Chains A and B, each alone.
Chain A
Amino acid sequence: MPGKLKVKIVAGRHLPVMDRASDLTDAFVEVKFGNTTFKTDVYLKSLNPQWNSEWFKFEVDDEDLQDEPLQITVLDHDTYSANDAIGKVYIDIDPLLYSEAATVISGWFPIYDTIHGIRGEINVVVKVDLFNDLNRFRQSSCGVKFFCTTSIPKCYRAVVIHGFVEELVVNEDPEYQWIDRIRTPRASNEARQRLISLMSGELQRKIGLKVLEMRGNAVVGYLQCFDLEGESGLVVRAIGTACTLDKLSSPAAFLPACNSPSKEMKESPLVHPPSHGCRSTHNSPIHTATGSRLTQNFSVSVPTLIYTGMGSGSAGKEGGPFKALLRQQTQAALEQRGGSPHRFCRRREFPFLTLTAFPPGLLVHVGGVVSARSVKLLDRIHNPDEPETRDAWWAEIRQEIKSHAKALGCHAVVGYSESTSICEEVCILSASGTAAVLNPRFLQEGTVEGSLEQRIEENLPVGCGFCHIPYDELNMPFPAHLTYCYNCRKQKVPDVLFTTIDLPTDAVVVGKGCLIQARLCRLKKKAQAEANATAISNLLPFMEYEVHTQLMNKLKLKGMNALFGLRIQITVGENMLMGLASATGVYLAALPTPGGIQIAGKTPNDGSYEQHISHMQKRINDTIAKNKELYEINPPEVSEEIIGSPIPEPRQRSRLLRSQSESSDEVTELDLSHGKKDAFVLEIDDTDAMEDVHSLLTDVPPPSGFYSCNTEIMPGINNWTSEIQMFTSVRVVRLSSLNLTNQALNKNFNGLCENLLKSLYFKLRSMTPCCLCHVNFTVSLPEDELIQVTVTAVAITFDKNQALQTTKAHAEKTLQRASTDNDELLQFPLELCSDSLPAPAFPATKEHLESASSNSGTPAAQRAVTVEKASPMGDGNFRNRSAPPCASSTVGVVKMTPLSFIPGAKITKYLGIINMFFIRETTSLREEGGVSGFLHAFIAEVFAMVRAHVAALGGNAVVSYIMKQCVFMENPSKNQAQCLINVSGDAVVFVRESDLEAMSTQQSAVNCQTSCPGEVTT
C-alpha cells in the first residue's frame, strides 16, 4: 500500500438550477477512486454550496494511482426519485506522483457534463502521500517524468538519451458494446471517457516501466494517440524518447515556484536495476480486463519507392515510372522481426527519437525524410490468440523506416512520429521521420562530459554540419546531385534537403522562412474490404509522388532550398483520399541556390500555345523574384572556383526516401529523375499539368506583417515580443456531388485551405507584425462529401526593427566561425552502443553543460528581454505571475501554446503532463446554434478545462499543447451531433524575464535592508 490519496471538496459555484420550483439546487458530491466512493453532505438550496468536507482518504497501490483518474461527480439530491447528475470532473493525479512537479492540486474545476457542457465549478484539493518502497518488484513507474515537448525541456539537461519507447493498449469501445443499446448517451459517453482515461494511465505506466528498465527517468516527446477503430475496438498507443534528465539548478531559485528542494531529493533512487536478458520486446499490449478482438487477416503492402528525385515532370517520357512498380504482398514481417539481428540489445531495436530539436552537438548529419505507410484491414473476428496484431503492424513499419535510414547511411531517425487514418474497416498506418547521424556520446551512459565539450568544439558549431551528406558519395543509395558545402567548402551537400525536424538553432539561414503546403485529392471507387484496401494501396504511391512534386515546385517558387517540419498526412474517406503536406521552407546558406522552374510545352510549332507557355514562364519567374524579395532571400554571391570542381553526378536530387512496404530487403529503387542541372523542368503536356501550374501560382502570400511556419520558431525572426494567441479553427465543407472530379476536388480543397489561412490573417490583423508558428493542419473526411480541416497554431508578435539586425549579426558571426567539419568518428552505428557498459557516476563539469543547454534553449526568448524593456508592454502582459491557485475571485490567466517555450519568459518548473479526452453530445443541435455553435462552445470549454487543470496544479501556462484529435459527427436531420476531442501538453510555471529582473533587484534591495539593521534600530 504505497500511497494515500487525500481529497477535500471545498465548495461549488454557478451551479445550474436543478429544482425548477425553488430555482435552486440541493447539491452533494461523490468522490470516487478505484472502487471506493465517498460522499459529502447535501448542501440544501444553493447554487453556491459550501461543503467544506473532511479529507477523504484513499489507500491505494501506486499502480492504481497511475492508472486511475480521480472521479468527482456532482449530483442534485432528490428525496423521491433518483438523484440527478449535474456533471463530473476527472482529475489525473499523475503530476502528484513525481517529485519536483506539483505537490498539491487545488482550485476551481469546471463541472462537465457530456450532454450539457460545463455546468458550474467545483473547488477541490487533492494531495498524495507516497511511501517509498523501492525494493519490491515494481509494476508502477511512479517518478518517471513525461513531457510532450519534443526537445529537452528548458530547465533540464539531458545526461543520456536512451532512445525510443513505445506501447499500445487495446480495448473494446464502449460505444459499440451491446449494453450501449440500452444505456443513455450520457452513460455511454462517460464510460468511454473513463475507459480512455484508464487506458492512458495504464499506457503511461507501462511506458514508464520501460524507461526505468532503460535506466532513464523521463520521457520526452511523448505522443499519445487514439485509434477509434469502431467495432473492432479502441487502441491507445504512445511513443516517446527515454532520457535521463538532470534538473538545472535554477537561476531563479529564490522564486517560490521553485522552492521545493526537499522534494528533489527523491529523484535518484528511481533508477531501477537493469533487467538483462532477452525478453520479448513488447509487453503484452492487451488490457487485462478484456481479450483482444483485434486481428489481422488481410494486409496490403505497397511497393517500396525510393523517390530519389521527383523533380522532373519529364519522367513521363520514359513511359511512366510507375509501370515499373512492383506489387508485393508481404505478410512475413513478423518472421523478419523475429530474426532481427538487434534483439540482443533490446532498447536499440528502433534507434528513433521523437525529438525535433536537440542539445547542441547531438545532431551530426541529416540524411533526409524517411517514411513508410501500410494499408491494413481492421476485422471484427475475435482472435484472442493473436493479441499483438497492432503491435506487429507498427513493428513492421518501424522496421522499414529503420532500413530506409540505413540506406541513407544513417543509423538513427529523429523527429519521428506515427499516425493513422481510419475509414470504416480500412486503416492506413503511417510513420515518418528524418534519417540522421547522431553523436553517440549522448546516447551512452557514463559519458565523460569533458570530452563532450571537446567534441562539440571540434566538430559541430559550424552551422552547416547537419547538411553534409551522411551517405557514401561513391556508393549512393540513389542518384543525387552534390556540391561542396557553400558554407565550409569542405564537405558535400545535397541541393535540396527535406526534414521532419525543427531548424537547428545554429543553422545559417538566409532571409525568412515560410509555410509551404502541398494539397491533393484523389477520388476512389467505393469498395469493400480487400478490394478497398487494394484500391487505396494502389493510389498511395501516386499521391506520394504528387505531394512531393508539389512541395518541390512550391519550394522552388519560393526560391528556397530546404524544408523543415515536414508532415505529410494522408486521409482516407469513403470515396476519396486526401493528402496534405505542410512544412517550413527556408534558404539554407550551406546549400546551393535553387535553380528556377522552366516550363516546357509538349506540342511544338503551335504559335499561340508557345505564347501561352512563355507567358506562364514569365509569371513563374516574376513570382520567384517577388518571393525572394518578400522573404529577403539574397544569398552572398559565390564564384564557381571557390566551390571547386563539380561533382560528377549532374543530377538534381532531393533526399526523400520513402516506402510503403514491409520488405525492405527487396527495395525497388526507381530513378524518377531526368532533370537538367540548373533548371527544374515542368512539362505541360495536358490540361492537368496546366492546372497544376496554375494552382502553383494561386497560392497567395500572407498579407504584409504576417509570416507563417509550422516549425517552433520562424527562421529569420529572433526578437519575439510577449503577446501570444493560441487558437483552433475548424471548417467543414460539403462538396456538391455533381462536380466530383479530381480537378474540381483539388481546387475545392486548395480553396478551403487558402481561405482558412486568409481568415486567420484577417482575424489576427491587430497583432501585426506577427508570425503564425507551429501551424498544424489536420484533414479528416467524416462523411461522403464532407471535408473537415482543423488548424491549431499560435500567433506571436515580434519587433520588426530588431529582426533584421539580429539575423544579420547572427549570420555573419556564424559564417566567421565556419571551420573544419570533421565527422570521421561520428558514424557509430547506434546498435553498437553496448548495454553492458558500467555506469560510473559522473562528476561533471556542470557549468559547461548548463550553459550549453541554455544555449540550446530559446535564444529568441532571451533576446526578447531587451525588446520588452524597450517597448511598452502590450495587452498580453496582464497578470503573468503565477497566482496562487485558490486566488479568491479573479481567474488567473493561463497561456496556451503549441511551442515549447513562451516568448519573453523563462519556464521555471514543469508540473506534469496534461492529457485530456472529452466527449460532447447534443440532441438539440439547432437550439445550441447549429454545428458551429455546438463545436465553438465545446472547444472553448475544452480550453477552459485545460486552463483550470493547469491553474489547479499551480501553473500559468501549457506548452507543447496539441489537439490530437477532433472527431466531429453530425446528424442534422435528427438534430444531433457528437464530438470527441483529445488534447495534451505540458503544464508549466513561467516567469516573465522582466519580472525576474525586477524581482532580483527587489531581492537585493531587501537583502540590503536586512543586512544593515543597525540603521533601522537607531
Chain B
Amino acid sequence: MTSELDIFVGNTTLIDEDVYRLWLDGYSVNDAVALRVRSGILEQTGATAGVLQSDTMDHYRTFHMLERLLHAPPKLLHQLIFQIPPSRQALLIERYYTFDEAFVREVLGKKLSKGTKKDLDDISAKTGITLKSCRRQFDNFKRVFKVVEEMRGSLVDNIQQHFLLSDRLARDYAAIVFFANNRFETGKKKLQYLSFGDFAFCAELMIQNWTLGAVDSQMDDMDVDLDKEFLQDLKELKVLVADKDLLDLHKSLVCAALRGKLGVFSEMETNFKNLSRGLVNVAAKLTHNKDVRDLFVDLVEKFVEPCRSDHWTLNDVRLFLNQYSASVHSLDGFRHQTLWDRYMGTLRGCLLRLYHD
C-alpha cells in the first residue's frame, strides 16, 4: 500500500516554524525528516516516522507555493489563497530574507551577476551552507538590489516598503545593496577579520554622508551611488600632506594635544606623517572606481595595520582620530574645513569600527 496523494489544507494556513527553518536551510524532505527525528519529536508526540514524513511533505509543499509570493512580500499580504495571520506573515517574510553571516561575507561587494551565481557551489562547499539556501540568499540580494537600485528616496525606506522587512533587516539589505553597487572589495585575506556588521556599519555612515542623498533627498539612486562631486573635491585635501608646513603644523597640534594622554605617544609621533599621508591619499584617490573598490583594503593597510603593529588600544585610536580631525580646524592656511569634516567624520567612525582583532 503506497501513498499516492497525501495533503492537508487548513482554512488558516498552518506554519511550522521548525520545518520552515529546515526548508529555508535547504534541506531535502528526507534530511528534514531525519533532523526532526533527531530532535526527539517522535518521543514527545508519540507520532510515527510516517506521520512525520507526511507532515514535512505538506509543509514543504505549502512553503513552495508561498515562495512565489515571498518574492514580492506585499503580494503575500494582498493574496487571497492562503489565509495567514499578520504576525505569521511577518515571520514568513523576515525569515525568508534573513541570511547567513558566512554567506553574506562571501558575496558582499561582489557584482550580483550570473557569474557570481555560478560560484555559489564553491561558497556552499566553503561555508557548509546548502547550495539551495545559498541560491535563495543570493536571489534575495539580487531581487532587492534590482527593485531599489534606481529608486528615489531613502534606501532603507524603499527596502522596507517593497519587502516589508524589519528595520534591522532593511538596514542590512541597504548595506548589501550599497556594497554591491559600489563593488567594495571585502574578500581579501586582510579583510577576513571583519564581520558583516563592521561593513554594514560603515555602509550606513557612508550612505548618510557620502552619497547624493546626503545633499539632495530628491535624486534618483540617491542612496546607492557616492556623490561624484564630493569625490572630486576630495583631491583638495591633498594639500594637507603635500604642503610640508601644513603637515608639520598639523602634527605639532596633534602631538601637543595628546602628549601624556596616549599610551603609544612616541609611536604616534614617529608614524604621524605616514598615517596622515595614508588617510589623505585614500581620499584623494577616490575619484577612480578601482580605488573606491579598494577603500577598505587601503584603510586597513594604511591605518589599521600600522597602528595594530604598534599595539595601539582602541582608546588610543579614538583619541588620535578625534584630535587629528579637530586640529585641522586650527590650520589657518587650509580652506576646505567642510569637505574635511564630511570626509573625516565618516572615516573616523569607520576606522574605529574596523579597528579590532
Contacts and interface: CB of A to CB of B under 8 A. Distances in A.
Same complex origin of A and B: yes
A759 B54 contact: yes
A344 interface: no
A628 B304 CA distance: 77
Given A878-B86, A936-B61, A762 B1 contact: no
Interface in A850-897: 875-876, 878, 889-891, 893-896
A933 B85 contact: no
A748 B77 CA distance: 42
B125 interface: no
B5 interface: yes
A936 B82 CA distance: 11
A932 interface: yes
Contact of A944 (B3, B50, B52, B81): B81
Interface string B1-22: 1111111111111100000000
Interface stretch (B40-48, B168-176, B233-241, B288-296): B40-48
Nearest to B41: A762
Contact of A755 (B5, B50, B77, B78): B50
B158 to A, nearest CB: 18
Interface string A955-970: 0000000000000101
A947 B45 CA distance: 33
Contacts, number: 139
B65 interface: yes
B63 to A, nearest CB: 12
B21 to A, nearest CB: 16
A786 B87 contact: no
B218 interface: no
B7 A118 contact: no
Given A110-B80, A733-B1, A932 B8 contact: no
B40 to A, nearest CB: 14
Given A733-B2, A786-B4, A891-B78, A758 B51 contact: yes
Nearest to B6: A731
Given A875-B87, A929-B61, A891 B80 contact: yes
B39 interface: no
A490 B92 CA distance: 63
A115 interface: no
B342 interface: no
Interface in A719-773: 725-736, 748, 751-752, 755, 758-763, 765
A699 to B, nearest CB: 15
Contacts of B85: 875, 878, 893
Nearest to A736: B1
A455 B225 CA distance: 86
A939 interface: yes
B190 interface: no
A711 to B, nearest CB: 20
Contacts of B87: 875, 878
A943 B83 contact: yes
A64 to B, nearest CB: 29
B162 interface: no
Nearest to A726: B11
A275 to B, nearest CB: 44
A481 B52 CA distance: 47
A734 B1 contact: yes
A932 B5 contact: yes
Nearest to A731: B6
A419 B349 CA distance: 77
A897 B331 CA distance: 79
Contacts of B8: 727-729, 759-760, 763
Nearest to B69: A14
A890 B61 contact: no
A941 interface: yes
Given A727-B10, A937-B65, A733 B77 contact: no
Contacts of B54: 759
A786 B47 CA distance: 25
A261 B27 CA distance: 59
A255 interface: no
Given A727-B8, A731-B6, A752 B1 contact: yes
A935 B78 CA distance: 23
A968 B83 CA distance: 24
Given A765-B45, A940-B81, A727 B9 contact: yes
B258 to A, nearest CB: 58
B11 A725 contact: yes
Given A732-B3, A734-B1, A875-B85, A762 B51 contact: yes
A932 B51 contact: no
A736 B1 CA distance: 6
Interface in A642-677: none
Interface string B304-348: 000000000000000000000000000000000000000000000
The range of chain A's interface size is: 35 or more
Interface in B63-95: 64-65, 75, 77-83, 85-87
B12 to A, nearest CB: 6
Contact of A935 (B3, B7, B55): B7
Given A725-B12, A734-B4, A759 B80 contact: no
A567 B193 CA distance: 70
Contacts of A758: 47-48, 51
A316 interface: no
A13 interface: yes
Contacts of A761: 47
B57 interface: yes
Nearest to A931: B5
Given A14-B78, A755-B51, A947-B80, A727 B5 contact: no
Contact of A941 (B12, B58, B81): B81
A110 B81 contact: yes
Nearest to A787: B1
B9 A729 contact: yes
Given A755-B51, A762-B47, A878-B85, A730 B5 contact: yes
Contact of A731 (B5, B62, B64, B82): B5
A730 B4 CA distance: 10
A539 B122 CA distance: 65
A932 B57 CA distance: 10
A957 to B, nearest CB: 10
Of residues B13, B78, B80, which shows the largest number of chain A Cβ atoms within 10 Å of its Cβ? B80
B2 to A, nearest CB: 5
A208 B74 CA distance: 45
A936 B5 CA distance: 10
A932 B2 CA distance: 14
A704 B5 CA distance: 28
Contacts of A755: 48, 50-51
B47 A948 contact: no
A98 interface: no
A893 B4 CA distance: 33
Contacts of A26: none
A943 B77 contact: no
Contact of B45 (A728, A762, A786): A762
Contacts of B55: 759, 762-763
Nearest to B14: A763
B3 A891 contact: no
Contact of B4 (A760, A896, A931): A931
Of residues A763, A933, A970, which shows the largest number of chain B Cβ atoms within 10 Å of its Cβ? A763
A320 interface: no
A108 interface: yes
The 10 closest A-B pairs by CB, nearest first: A732-B5, A727-B10, A726-B11, A939-B9, A732-B4, A936-B7, A896-B11, A729-B8, A931-B5, A944-B80
Given A895-B11, A935-B7, A970-B4, 8 more contacts: A703-B46, A730-B7, A788-B5, A878-B85, A896-B11, A931-B4, A932-B7, A941-B81
23 contacts: A13-B78, A14-B75, A14-B79, A110-B80, A727-B9, A729-B8, A730-B5, A731-B7, A733-B4, A734-B4, A755-B51, A759-B55, A760-B8, A763-B55, A763-B58, A875-B87, A878-B85, A890-B77, A891-B79, A896-B11, A932-B6, A937-B65, A944-B81
